[in-house]
Amino acid sequence: MLRIFKADLHIHTCLSPCAELSMSPRAIVEAAGRQRLDVIAISDHNSCENALAVIRAAGEGGIKVLPGMEVTSREEVHVLALFEAIEAALALQDAVYAHLPGENDSQRLGLQVVVNEHHDVVGFNHRLLAGATELSVEQIADLIHGLNGLAIASHIDREAFGIIGQLGFIPEGLAFDALELSANTSREEAARRFPEHAGAAFIHSSDAHRPEEIGRTFTPLLLREPTTAEVRKAFRREEDRRILYREAAGCGARRQEGCCA
Amino acid sequence: MTVRDIVEALQLEVLGGDQGLDREVTGGYASDLLSDVIANSRAGDLWVSLQAHRNIIAVASLKELAGVVLVGGRAPDSETLAKAREEQVLLLGSRLPAFEVVGRLYALGLRGAG
């Protein structure tokens, strides 16, 4: 039986240098619960070292946590990667780390805190997670698809780090599973601004860097169960699975303040 | 001033699309955001950027730019080079960073809008 799953597929943790330290696994799960979200995805910049902790924090409490990552391409385009299994996310992380130069300056850019599900600090990530990888946007999409993940173009309505802002348009032959919009842009506005993508699967996600931002916008999905396989079907409108687009008024007019993301 | 004059003065490397070397350059534009280049560059501009993705060729062709100077020794990949040949877009390279390239172009008399 199909039912509606409320999904926020783009959430940072305290591992992202630009996110608040209060973005602990438990705080994220609690905020998701308050917002009555059914599915969330953890997508830190160029790393997934906190994803398992959030999966564990959610436990059997009814919120499905998908492990993921927001990878920065060498063109400075953000690509969201979502996986079913942590192993696939970790495999992408290996590929990303092999092509991510630089060291974090925690004084200037922020701490990159690796935690467990109890918010005990396990360590600090010293890589330059705020930096760009040496991988092209095409290579990143190929890596994600090779690991059976979903590749989503992050916040295409934002000039900074959005693919259309950075590259003018989505290159021919680059197959994203969905295009993400921030809280500022409704699907109707997106179809007007990007007429060549009017038929694409648009999702809304919070890109939360603070607990109170979680669920500020979200995507209702009609699925049988909250898995990436089902989400993929919804993106492709297969077997009655689909994205339930909301009215423009529901998308919120609140300005999204950009930090590093 | 032709692109060839600029190539010689700045000792630029011709990476692709060399049919355009005798084209007149009427101005300059510097940006790494391709959406901004689409919006604000003018036909005949020489475009200075470090963005080496193949979309630069489509943008240069669309906007009828005189050519693209890739700065900081950025190397275009084979797809970008193939596109440059296909669309006959002049692709140039410099080891120098963007600030230095733009400064030297300005000193040659090239101007942007405004």
**Lowest-confidence pick of A203-212, A240-249, B81-90:** A240-249
Where do runs of H (alpha helix) occur along A23-157? Answer: 25-34, 51-58, 86-97, 106-109, 137-146
CA angle, corner A245, sides to A244 and A246, nearest 5?
A: 115
A52 token code pair? 């398992």
pLDDT for residue B48: 98
Q: At A250, is the pLDDT very low, low, confident or very high (cuts 50, 70, 90)?
A: very low
Interhelix angle B3-10/B98-107, rounded to 10 degrees, is: 120
**Residue A131 CA: distances (Å) to CA of A76, A96, A137, A200, A260:** 9, 11, 14, 29, 10
CA angle, corner A48, sides to A80 and A43, nearest 5?
A: 35
Nearest Cα of chain A lies from the Cα of B59 at a distance, in angstroms, of 8
Q: Are A131 and A101 in contact (CB under 8 A)?
A: yes
Q: If you average pLDDT over residues A48-68, what whole number do you get? A: 97
d(C-alpha A173, C-alpha B41), whole Å: 26
pLDDT for residue A247: 52
- Inspect the interface and report whether the beta carbons of B34 and A168 lie closer than 8 Å: yes
- Inspect the interface and report whether the beta carbons of B53 and A169 lie closer than 8 Å: no
State how far Cα A90 lies from the chain centre.
15
- Inspect the interface and report whether the beta carbons of A137 and B59 lie closer than 8 Å: no
Q: At A257, is the pLDDT very low, low, confident or very high (cuts 50, 70, 90)?
A: very low
pLDDT tens-digit series, residues A79-98? 999 999 999 999 999 999 99
Beta bridge partners of A29: none
d(C-alpha A239, C-alpha A223), whole Å: 10
B34 touches chain A (CB under 8 A): yes
- Inspect the interface and report whether the beta carbons of A169 and B33 lie closer than 8 Å: no
Nearest Cα of chain A lies from the Cα of B62 at a distance, in angstroms, of 11
Task: For residue A101, give the nearest of A140, A74, A69 by alpha carbon.
Answer: A74
**Residue A68 CA: distances (Å) to CA of A44, A86, A111, A153:** 8, 8, 20, 13
pLDDT for residue A253: 39
How does strand B13-16 pair with strand B27-30? unpaired
ipTM for the whole complex:
0.83
pLDDT for residue A258: 36
pLDDT tens-digit series, residues A153-187? 999 999 889 999 999 999 989 999 999 999 999 99
d(C-alpha B102, C-alpha B89), whole Å: 20
Q: Which of A137, A166, A171 is closest, CB to CB, to B33? A: A166
B46 token code pair? 């020489």
B16 token code pair? 């692709």
Q: At A108, is the pLDDT very low, low, confident or very high (cuts 50, 70, 90)?
A: confident
Q: Are A118 and A48 in contact (CB under 8 A)?
A: no
| Total residues belonging to chain A | 261
Q: What is the overall mean pLDDT for chain A?
A: 93
- Inspect the interface and report whether the beta carbons of A164 and B58 lie closer than 8 Å: no
Q: Provide the 10 A C-beta neighbour count for residue A112.
A: 27
A164 touches chain B (CB under 8 A): yes
Q: What is the overall mean pLDDT for chain B?
A: 95
pLDDT tens-digit series, residues B2-47? 999 999 999 999 999 888 899 999 999 999 999 999 999 999 999 9
